[in-house]
Amino acid sequence: MHIRQLDPKISVCIVFVAATFMSIMDTTIVNVALPSVSRQFGVSSASIDIVVVAYLVSLAVVIPASGWLGDRWGTRRVFLIALTLFSLASALCGLAGNLAQLVVFRALQGAAGGVLTPVGTTILYRTFPPEKRVQITRVLIIPTVIAPAVGPVLGGFLVDQLSWRWVFFVNVPIGLATCLFGLLFLQEHREPGAGRFDLAGFFLAGIGLALFMYALSEGSSVGWLSPGILGSGLVGVLVLGGFVFHELRTSEPMIDLRLLSDRLFLTTNLVSLFAMAGFLGVLFMGPLFLQQARGVTALVSGLTTFPESIGVVLSIQIVARLYPRVGPRRLIIGGLLGVACSMILLCLVGLETNLWLMRALIFMMGAGMAYVFLSVQTAAFATISSASTGRASALYQAQSQVGAALGIAVLSSVLAMLGPTSRGTAGVLLPNLAAYHAAFLAAAVLALLAAGIALAIRDRDAAATMRRPTSASDHADLAVTAPGGEPIV
């Protein structure tokens, strides 16, 4: 097949998977390198957190504008510019000569990432109509679940064998190759009614989210009642309140909050918020437990949490076949109940327990989350029009970032409150196993809260995504094939 005859659907899938994988993996791969970075630049382990915070804050600032940028300037153009900027910033991070430079370049990387995922999601959902999204989601969900698990494994290998700089350099060839591919094959799309740029909304959303994300990210380590954290959190909430007031009154909002009047969109966003908080909280707490309490290496830690992604990939193939017949409501609730059980059973893992038990429970958690990932992502946009997809995607991604920060904040706070260590009989500091177990239980509570919210989902609202192919042409259109001809869906 001539390269220029590549199906647009295949082009979108390839670009979306590669770019999303790179962007999401970057959020976990860097954590493994932080100890090496702190030694290289001679800073404390507490100070080095700014490398992560700079990325998250910058991400939060830019996400609200991503929908308008894609609608106004074209999703293809904006996506490729963001991808190029992300690759360039990754190279600069790897070349940084001091901590200040690294923080600036990480902020630049975050700004690009804040555009990359929402605009990529917009391209995806404008390419595939609602009735075909469940079929393609089981392939495209892979970067979302594998990337966070691959990050620690790959990061540990690169830091041990090369240096911390390679956790950034690894993005460059992937980003540039994906950008070149997208330049050749992606199709442009602009919304004629994008309207003017909501400058006031941008500043209010950016400042509010940045302050709120900073408070969530640093509260457990600095102290929730410290003036900086408490002030940032309160001011962030107040500014976000002003943002909501402004957006509901303006005719051309930065993020159309009126989309939340859609029952299905609102409910699935809330489910995603708390489900991702619990899930990513465990993926954050698991390595801490393994490395700090049990003393294993970063590589062993990554290999122990990696079965989560295997569970998702295997389970999601089943979920995709069940979704058109069962609908999202029961799949989401059942999946979350299974996830909560797996999190509770993690309390059985002690300091001497065989790690294969933890790997099995992490695998079960991933298998349960597959029911949530596919069903929520498919149903969320079922009733959203093509014209509103850009702004809806920005809102969905902002919620995802808040959910991730919320989960880490809650579990870290539980660990800090109970203390990660305790004194033994001889006054020697020992790992406080109860504190880690309490954190896993907190994650289970978040998953159960998400399951309770999912009770409000109505399958009939997601009917557009539950239609099954009725003709040979429909089946042919659903079968996305790889360039070599093998079907991947």
Locate 269 and state its tokens: 């966003």
Alpha helix positions (H), 186-297: 199-222, 227-249, 263-288
How far is residue 406's CA from residue 174's CA, in Å, rounded to a whole number?
30
How far is residue 175's CA from residue 87's CA, in Å, rounded to a whole number?
5
Enumerate the β-bridge partners of residue 431: 421
The CA-based angle 439-441-443, given to 5 degrees, is 75
Nearest C-alpha neighbor of 348 from the set 422, 291, 448, 433: 433
Q: Give the per-residue pLDDT at 472.
A: 43
- Interaxial angle between packed helices 75-95 and 171-185, expressed in degrees from 0 to 180 and rounded to the nearest 10: 160
**What backbone torsions phi and psi does residue 186 show, to the nearest 5 degrees?**
-70, 145
How far is residue 138's CA from residue 317's CA, in Å, rounded to a whole number?
6
Q: Which residues contact 239 (CB under 8 A, 6 or more apart)?
A: 204, 207, 208, 211
Nearest C-alpha neighbor of 125 from the set 386, 435, 333, 361: 386
Q: If residue 142 lies in a helix (H) or strand (E), which one and from where to where?
A: helix 142-161
Enumerate the β-bridge partners of residue 421: 431
- Record the pTM: 0.77
How far is residue 86's CA from residue 92's CA, in Å, rounded to a whole number?
10
Contact 264, 458 (CB under 8 A): yes
Q: Give the per-residue pLDDT at 488.
A: 33
Contact 414, 435 (CB under 8 A): yes
How far is residue 158's CA from residue 248's CA, in Å, rounded to a whole number?
48
Give tens-digit pLDDT for 436-453. Answer: 899 999 999 999 999 999
Contact 260, 266 (CB under 8 A): yes
Nearest C-alpha neighbor of 66 from the set 403, 409, 404, 401: 401
Nearest C-alpha neighbor of 369 from the set 458, 267, 276: 276
Contact 305, 284 (CB under 8 A): no
Q: Give the per-residue pLDDT at 136.
A: 67
Measure CA 365 to chain center: 17
Residues of the chain with pLDDT under 50: 1-3, 470-489
Q: Which residues contact 68 (CB under 8 A, 6 or more apart)?
A: 194, 195, 197, 198, 254, 390, 391
How far is residue 292's CA from residue 61's CA, in Å, rounded to a whole number?
33
